[in-house]
Structure 1
Amino acid sequence: MATTLTKHERNLSAIIHASTFSKYFIPFGNFIFPLLLWTANKKEYDFVDYNGKQALNFQISMLLYSILVGLVSIPFFIGFWPDVFDGDFFGFHRLSDFNNLNIHISSDDFRFGRFFWPVGITGLLQAGLIVINVVYTILATIRTNEGETFKYPFTIKFIK
């Protein structure tokens, strides 16, 4: 890295990190905008080159982790599907009971238990990945704007 960084380099690096938040508005914006900014400026500034690689590697890593968490839950859903086709699953045989307004909730009748455990666990893991993504992207944006180098944790180096 250069010993003296211009304001332009710091701002551009911070914008590269902050542009990953565009994924909440534009599909794959977290890859498109940082990639455009990085490729346009990577040959001129070493600091921008370093930060562009860091931001893209982190976003690709987070996507990979998110896909892996989703894949972990697939066996649970496959085990759940045969129960869906059971005639008693949704309780259609008891529709006449609703005329009596005899509402009784029992944990024994809760047939979705096997379905909600993997959804809850993978949902918490996905929420954790979102929190990690947001927190470290904000930290990277702030630190690069101050002229410091920032290295994301949990990052696989796809772009070297």
Structure 2
Amino acid sequence: MTQSIKPDKTVAALIHLSTFSQFFFPFGNFIFPLIFWTAKKNDPFVNEHGKQALNFQISFFLYVLFIVLAGIAGAVIIGVNLNIENFYWNDHGHFIGSPENATPVIIYVMIMIFLLLSLLILNLYAVVSATVKAGEGKLYKYPLTINFLGASGALPASEATSEKE
């Protein structure tokens, strides 16, 4: 692997920022960082940031998937165990049954929604923090990340440049 004299902080920052494309394109949080990362993979600084960003996005996807599946399964299991009879809308659009019977399901679903919102806030905070650190030429380790791509903790940009001089 070639050691670059001047690490490309702009591309490293763009890798992190491009993860926000998930709000506009399905799986954009994987596709666009991967494109930027592979374009400048020979730069150790960019390589490390690319691995960190993709590791976090894969981890984030798995956490969201787990919470959604656990939420659906839990709501169904709790709902089946409640054994609620006559808990439906009648022909005139009036509710039949006692809404208090649905409280456990509602509380469980609200907890799952809270966990999903917490993950979204963590994602926003972590990506902005990583972008700022990359712009400063420093490394950033995302929280709650599973290390799929083997991010190693390469040198920050300032150390990488001083080594070659």
The normalised TM-score by structure 1 is 0.80
Distance 2:38 2:5 in 1: 22
Question: CA 1:26/1:91 → structure 2, altered by over 3 Å: closer, same or farther?
Answer: closer
Matched with 2:144 is: 154
| Conserved? CA contact 1:5–1:147, under 8 Å | no
- Structure 1: runs of 5+ lacking an equivalent: 99-105
Q: Which runs of 4+ in 1 moved over 3 A?
A: 2-6, 81-86, 108-111
| Conserved? CA contact 1:83–1:89, under 8 Å | no
Counting matched residue pairs gives 145
Distance 1:26 1:155 in 2: 23
Distance 2:66 2:103 in 1: 23
Matched with 1:5 is: 6
Distance 2:9 2:89 in 1: 61
What are the superposed Cα offsets for residues 18-67 of structure 1, whole Å, 9 maximum, x if unpaired?
00000000000000000111112102x11000000000000001111111
| Conserved? CA contact 1:66–1:126, under 8 Å | yes
Are positions 1:58 and 2:56 aligned together?
yes
Question: CA 1:114/1:141 → structure 2, altered by over 3 Å: closer, same or farther?
Answer: same
CA RMSD of aligned residues (A): 2.6
The normalised TM-score by structure 2 is 0.77
Select the structure of larger CA radius of gyration.
Answer: 1
Q: One-letter code of the match for 1:22? A: S
Q: One-letter code of the match for 1:5? A: K
1:3 deviation in Å?
Answer: 8.9
Q: One-letter code of the match for 1:34? A: P
What are the superposed Cα offsets for residues 101-132 of structure 1, whole Å, 9 maximum, x if unpaired?
xxxxx9x5434323211210000000000000
- Structure 2: runs of 5+ lacking an equivalent: 151-165
Q: One-letter code of the match for 1:128? A: S
Q: One-letter code of the match for 1:80? A: G
Instruction: Give the percent of matched residue pairs that are identical in Structure 1 and Structure 2.
Output: 37
